Structure formats: C-alpha cells, structure tokens
Structure 1
Amino acid sequence: MATMEDVARAADVSLSTVSHVVNGTRKVSPKTVAAVNAAMQQIGYVPNMLARALAGSSSGTIGVAISAFTNHYFSETVRAIEAACTRHGLMMLFSDTHDDPEQELKVVQNLHQRRVDGIVLAPSGDPHNRALDYLTSNKIASVLVDRMSPQAFDQVGVENVEATAQLVSHLIAAHGHRRIGFIAGAPGLSTTDERIDGYRLALQRANITFDADLLRSGDSNLERSGAATRELLALPAGQRPTAIVAGNNLMTIGTMHALRDAHIAVPQDVALAGFDDFDWADYFSPRLTVMAQPLEELGAMAVDLLIERIAHPGRDQHVQRLSPTLRVRNSCGCP
C-alpha cells in the first residue's frame, strides 16, 4: 500500500508539503498541488480510503496523552489533533498526563487497554522513560509531539534552536540589548535544552559572553517563572537584564505578572519576548512579541504519521521538524 512518503518522493516535495495538500492546512502553490495530486493518482494513494480501512479492521480510535488542562499551547495542540482525526474519519480519546511521569504511564496503559489503534504522546521529563518503554515493549503504534526523544519513534515538533536564536537575536540586533535574561522550561524536556542552546547560540553569534546568572529555570509554569523573574530583578545594579525571553507561553505570562508587580514597564524598562503564541497575545498591553508554533500543521502531521505507522508498522521511523514564525509586536520595543 502506498504511503505519504511514497507520494513525497514521486512528487519531489517534502512530507510536510504532502500533508498540507491532503489536509488543507497551509496554502500551497497550484503547481505543487497539481504535482502532489498527480503523484497520488500515479501510485494509488487515497488518504480517506486508508483511514476507512483502518477503522474497518480496528477501533478507529486514536489515543492522545498530553498535559493540556494547565497549558494553553497543549490544549490548542489537542484541538488541532482532533480536527485532523475528524478529517480522516477517526475518533480521538484524550487523557491528560498532567506532565507527571506516573500519571503519564497510567494514561498510556489505560489507552492501550481500551484498544486504541495508536497513541499520540507529548512525553514528560521522566528520567526513566517508563511510558516510552511501555509503548516500545508492547509494540504500540505511537507518535511523539513537541518533545523529541532519542528513542526510535515517529516524532513531530518544531525547530527550537535556530528559532530561539532568532528571537534573542531580534532583541540584540533591533534593540541593542546585551544583558538578556532567559527563563527556561522544566528540566529533562528536549524543548528546554534546545531553547537554552538557541539562547546561547544567539549570544555567541553576537560576541556576548554567556552569564549563568541570567539563565533561570521557570519550570514551565506561572509560579516558578514569576519567581525566576524576581531573581533576575534582584541582581545588583548593572547586572540586571534589560530584556527577558521566556521559554513558553505560561512562563511569558508569569514573567509579565512579576514585572508588573515590580512596577517595571515593558518595554520601556525591560523588553519581553516569549516562545509560543496564543489567541490573546495580540491583546496584551503591550502586545507580545513571540515565536509562534504551527499548531494546525503539527496536529495534522502527528495524525498523518500515526495513520502511516498503523498501516505500515515495519517502516522506518520519521522525524519531522516544523518551522515556527517570529511575530514581532510591541513588548520587545518595536512600534
């Protein structure tokens, strides 16, 4: 049976481009659409028929294990996955992991017991990889989203290193900041490590010496990011940051709250930028400069990869990195 990868090779385009054409998740040039459609016809790939074939021989249900209730970014990711499932005629069974390794393992086990056809997982920072090992040992069709793993799984996430470097570099090049604080996410997550790498890369490119005092852990939540911001503001005069970058949307909000509580004007006193966009970032005062992730594309790709894995369990693993978009607003100092 033909796969999306076969279509991509036949049309000489990327796998994500085929996904866009199939799911309508991004505008594609008419010439490329024609090439993809011709390739699908040539090799006999029919995506809706594939989904119906899966549903006919199995439960037609995909399990989703993500910590969404306390993280707006992940709730939007779940919404995108559900929309992709609907397009393929599949049901979605969702359970929240609360980013807790023990709860994560229970959720994965429960979804398995309910005989879902496959599982989409945003893995926690479990140092023992219990949920991932369970998926592997039970040969469960799985796709990891957002947080990447060195283990052999189909995975889809964004490019974090260069994206974070671009965000930090904007503060350096456009606004002349040299003392830039970075509030990092929870330890043990690939997104945390990659965004720290991007922060340090931007400093290196600008010949700015890395200062460990300006790197603080916000633990991916509101409370700890607020505390991290207060730690940065408590540095001696001359050592405090003139700009802060937060590693996810929750930490951006926590940072903003802490700055306001300290009567620090943004961007006049301290500039602010963050990773992840959200619906009301454009309505903050000031409007937030962020690196926006392509959530609809992420959800569509995760479901596409899982359908392919279910249909072709022996194929090679595929890892897809999507490009986020810098959205420049006012909090960085731009008009």
Structure 2
Amino acid sequence: MGHGVTMRTVAERAEVSTKTVSNVINGTGSYSPETEQRVRAAIDELGYRINPFARGLRSRRTDTIALVLPNLCQPFYAELAEQIMRAPQTQGLKVVLHSTHGDARREQAVLSAHPELVDGVIYVPHALGPEDYLSLPVTRPTVVLGERPADATALSLDYVETADEQGARAVVGHLLSRGRRRIAAIGGQTGPRAGARRLRGYRAALAEAGVDYDDSLVISVDDADQWSSGVGAATRLLRQRARFDALFCFNDVVAVGALSVLTRSGVKVPSDVALAGFDDIEAARFASPPLTTVDLRRESIARTAVTLLRSRMGMEDFRNLPGRSESIGYDLRPRASSGAPPSGPG
C-alpha cells in the first residue's frame, strides 16, 4: 500500500491532527498512550513509510550509542570500553557493546544496522579493511578509531587517529638507546590494523639507527590478542636459536606471554634481553619486572571520540559536515623490563 500515503492520510484515519502524527513519529510533544496507539495502528494499516531523512523530520532519539570492538578479552579494549562509559562526555547516553570476534560479517552487520536502533557508533575496525567498510553506506554518525585512509576524506566519517607508528618508533628507539642492536619483534602484521602500523614504526627506528632489518627476527602471530600467542612466538624464537638482545612485542598481552617463557627458560630480563610492549594495559605495571610500554592515552581517545560523535548527533543532518580527524599522541613508559631506571609510583 504505502504509496501516496501522507501524514495527513494517517491523521485522518487516526482522527488526530498532522502535528500529533508528527509528534508520535518523532517522539516530541505530549500525547496520551491511547493517541499513540491509534496513530501507530493507522501507520501500520496504511503502510505509511516514514522517511528518516525527510528534511526537518527528527527521527526518534534513542540516546544510545554502539561501541564496536574486536573482542573484550584483550585488556586494551576492555579498558577503552570502561573509559568510554565513564567519560563525562558520555553522561546521559547508554552504551551498547558489540564484540565482533574479528568476524567480518558481524562488523558489517553492526555498521549497516537500522539507524533507528542507535544514534551513533564508535568503531574499531579489525576484520574489515578501509576498502570494505568505506563502501558501506554511512547511516548515522560514526567515529572510527585508527588510521584515517586517504579515501575517507570525502565521507562524513570522523576519525580518532592513534599513534601506533610513532609510539612503536619511540619504544624501539628506546631499546636502541640502551645499546641493544638485535631487536626481535612479535606481532600480527596482516592488513590495515594497528599491527601493520607498529611494524612500520619498528622498521623506521631500526633504519634511523642504521641497523639492518632482519626478517628472521620478526615472528608473526595469528591472534595478537591472546596471551598464549606471546608464549608460542617466544618459544619459537628460542627454538630457532635466534641471537637477540631485545624483544619488542606489538602489545602488552603478547609481551607478558613472552616474558613468562623467557623467565622459565632462564633468560634474564633485562640483562640478557630487554623487553618492551605496547598499550600500557594495567597488567604491564604489575609484570615482573614491570613492562616498558607505550601509552596511547585511552582516556583522551574516549573523550575525543564521544565529543566528535555527540557534535554530529546534534545536527539536523549529520552528513552536512565533512569528515574530521583528531590525532591523539602517546607517552613512552620506560620501566625495568628494558633496564630503565625505576620511576616513581604511577
């Protein structure tokens, strides 16, 4: 049916004014539950299609945002989710967590879900590369956490860029400054993820110090979010009898797994092997020895993402504003695992 049915037709059927129909559809104004029922019944009967993008039509606000993460077993994501929920900017919003388990179809489903379900999305790409998610229609305000691809500039997507490459370059530079020259690396390097950017930073730091890149010292893991990946990769390094005096892990989860293997194998950290991770998860401070790492400033990421999202959610049509990009820096956290002098508490 739906064809040629207008708000006026619905109003006549429900015996109310068009203003009341508009109020019910948009969740504005006041009306009784009976009136709402009559209007909704008329909409269903007549098959009235609500056009969410009709000018001036404010669709019903849900005050809910979706947070789309690869998983919650990686403490970095769990701690980031906490920060997003606790940020003062999030006051008054509900946060729905989606854990996509690195599955491309799940990521796609959440991104293309009905815009009526949530008012905005904060998205950490994992299985989908930019060429995949950029081709999906942007149906509501969306903030992407990670590197902004060149072809995203025309879209109304906002980015919070994390300092993966710069942070990796700094922490590997720190290992080099401790006199280490054979620096092994463990991490996932596939696709457009943070791992690939951290590998670029590792290579840049070596090049800067005039140290040749040695492929045999770089161990790739399938799932860098599992503690066991660090265990497996460090075991492989030791079995290969590779000569290395430092080890850079692309995240702290892998670093703590690797540390347990080194310790069990009688390799002394940091005197035999200086060790560094990335992310500064809470466990890094309590490792033995405490782990040198890179802090991506989760709290700033959270505040910035929600601020960008809210500013778009408040617009009549969020697509009127071209995409924006905010870069969040990093802090190097030298600790005992790389032979750094112990710093004070915190």
What range describes the TM-score normalised by the shorter chain of this pair?
0.7 to 0.9
Q: In 2 relative to 1, CA 75–147 (structure 1 residues): closer, same or farther, beyond 3 Å?
A: farther
Query: Hey, what's the Cα distance between the residues in 1 that align with 2:231 and 2:131?
Result: 29
1:190 deviation in Å?
3.1
Comparing 194-203 with 79-88, which one deviates more in the overlay? 79-88
Whether contact under 8 Å (1:85, 1:303) holds in the other structure is no
Q: Which residue of 2 aligns with 1:257?
A: 260
2:135 aligned residue (129, 133, 155): 133
Whether contact under 8 Å (1:96, 1:107) holds in the other structure is no
1:242-272 residue CA offsets vs partner (Å, 9 max, x unmatched): 1001111221122112222323221122110
Structure 1: gaps (5+ residues): 1-54
Say if 2:163 is the partner of 1:159: yes
1:58-106 residue CA offsets vs partner (Å, 9 max, x unmatched): 1111111113421100111111111236644211111211122122223
1:149 deviation in Å?
4.2
Whether contact under 8 Å (1:272, 1:289) holds in the other structure is yes
Say if 2:337 is the partner of 1:331: yes
TM-align CA RMSD: 2.3
1:327 deviation in Å?
0.8
Query: Hey, what's the Cα distance between the residues in 2 that align with 1:258 and 1:252?
Result: 10
Structure 2: gaps (5+ residues): 1-57, 342-346
TM-score (norm 2): 0.73
Q: In 2 relative to 1, CA 107–258 (structure 1 residues): closer, same or farther, beyond 3 Å?
A: farther
Q: Report the residue type matching 2:169 in the other structure.
A: A
Whether contact under 8 Å (1:234, 1:240) holds in the other structure is no
Helix, strand or coil at the partner of 1:183: strand
Comparing 153-162 with 99-108, which one deviates more in the overlay? 99-108
Higher helix share: 1
Whether contact under 8 Å (2:70, 2:101) holds in the other structure is yes
Say if 2:240 is the partner of 1:235: yes
Alignment of 1:291-310 (within 5 A): 291-310=294-313
Q: Report the residue type matching 1:67 in the other structure.
A: P
Whether contact under 8 Å (2:158, 2:323) holds in the other structure is yes
Q: In 2 relative to 1, CA 114–70 (structure 1 residues): closer, same or farther, beyond 3 Å?
A: farther
1:129 deviation in Å?
5.3
Q: Which residue of 1 aligns with 2:176?
A: 172
Comparing 62-71 with 181-190, which one deviates more in the overlay? 181-190
Helix, strand or coil at the partner of 1:226: helix
Query: Hey, what's the Cα distance between the residues in 2 that align with 1:295 and 1:100?
Result: 24
Whether contact under 8 Å (2:267, 2:273) holds in the other structure is yes
Query: Hey, what's the Cα distance between the residues in 1 that align with 2:246 and 2:196?
Result: 20
Whether contact under 8 Å (1:149, 1:190) holds in the other structure is no
Query: Hey, what's the Cα distance between the residues in 2 that align with 1:295 and 1:122?
Result: 13
Whether contact under 8 Å (1:125, 1:187) holds in the other structure is no
Helix, strand or coil at the partner of 2:243: coil
Helix, strand or coil at the partner of 2:203: helix
Query: Hey, what's the Cα distance between the residues in 1 that align with 2:245 and 2:109?
Result: 44
Q: In 2 relative to 1, CA 295–103 (structure 1 residues): closer, same or farther, beyond 3 Å?
A: same
Helix, strand or coil at the partner of 2:126: coil
Comparing 181-190 with 146-155, which one deviates more in the overlay? 146-155
TM-score (norm 1): 0.75
Query: Hey, what's the Cα distance between the residues in 1 that align with 2:215 and 2:303?
Result: 38
Say if 2:231 is the partner of 1:226: yes
Query: Hey, what's the Cα distance between the residues in 2 that align with 1:86 and 1:199?
Result: 35
Alignment of 1:1-335 (within 5 A): 58-84=61-87, 87-110=90-113, 112=114, 115-127=117-129, 130-134=132-136, 137-146=137-146, 148-152=148-152, 153-173=157-177, 175-218=178-221, 219-220=223-224, 221-236=226-241, 239-310=242-313, 311=315, 312-335=318-341
**Percentage of identical aligned residues:** 29
Helix, strand or coil at the partner of 1:198: helix
1:186 deviation in Å?
4.9
Residues paired across the two proteins, number: 275
Whether contact under 8 Å (2:248, 2:275) holds in the other structure is yes
Query: Hey, what's the Cα distance between the residues in 2 that align with 1:56 and 1:138?
Result: 16
Query: Hey, what's the Cα distance between the residues in 2 that align with 1:127 and 1:322?
Result: 21
Helix, strand or coil at the partner of 1:313: helix
> Rg: which structure is higher?
2
